[in-house]
Structure 1
């Protein structure tokens, strides 16, 4: 089996930046050797509204859809989607002051980046 190095960031929903409270909502996995960049996410409306009752959860889903577009390299990701895979991951892992923020970059090795993404989603978000 071919073990591949990968990097990932956990996506956090930060409804109010001033309070620094967040809820993990997704994971982005990047594996250069496999030319793999993908996001998996799930939004728990009730948990997010517990942090901030007035949060527009549809806006959160739209932001995550944008990230899907960047990963896929399609129109949903705007100009960032047109760059090479490594640059797109660089864009996604950069700190932001928006409602969706990436956590620190972590790494590991896997034989299957897609399976690893689902594993991380279950462990860190689900």
Structure 2
């Protein structure tokens, strides 16, 4: 079993109202050098929360989180060599439309399978 930490990514279109829907998950396992993000944006749910939300912009932000997980740089992305540094950057609190929730932990055999399980449980359900 491998220890891991994860955060749920939230769409918070109006920070002042503190309303959100879950749109993604980032999972980090130092045990097996795994850091990745998976996301799914339900347009209907997002529009119900905020009809004027720029969903293409949200998708772009979610893609940027995945790019940071994978160590991509340039285009305004941070240059962070270690996975732990990149996870720390992702989980840092921010007042933007896409925000990380609290950090949680668990154990799994396969982090990629666990990431997909958490996406199904916490975002799609």
How many Å separate the matches in 1 of 2:37 and 2:74?
Answer: 14
Deviates more, 1:68-77 or 1:27-36: 68-77
| Residue aligned with 1:5, SS | strand
1:80 paired residue among 74, 78, 83 = 78
Q: Give the C-alpha shift of residue 79 in structure 1.
A: 4.2
Structure-2 change in CA distance of 1:77 and 1:26 (3 Å)? farther
1:10 paired residue among 8, 15, 25 = 8
Gaps of 5+ in 1: none
1:92 paired residue among 87, 90, 93 = 90
1:114 paired residue among 109, 112, 115 = 112
Q: Give TM-score, length-normalised by structure 1.
A: 0.94
How many Å separate the matches in 2 of 1:115 and 1:103?
Answer: 21
How many Å separate the matches in 2 of 1:81 and 1:69?
Answer: 11
Q: Give TM-score, length-normalised by structure 2.
A: 0.95
| Residue aligned with 2:86, SS | helix
Structure-2 change in CA distance of 1:25 and 1:76 (3 Å)? farther
Q: Is the 8 A contact 2:64 2:77 kept in 1?
A: no
Gaps of 5+ in 2: none
Is the helix fraction higher in 1 or 2?
A: 1
Count of aligned positions: 124
How many Å separate the matches in 1 of 2:121 and 2:64?
Answer: 23
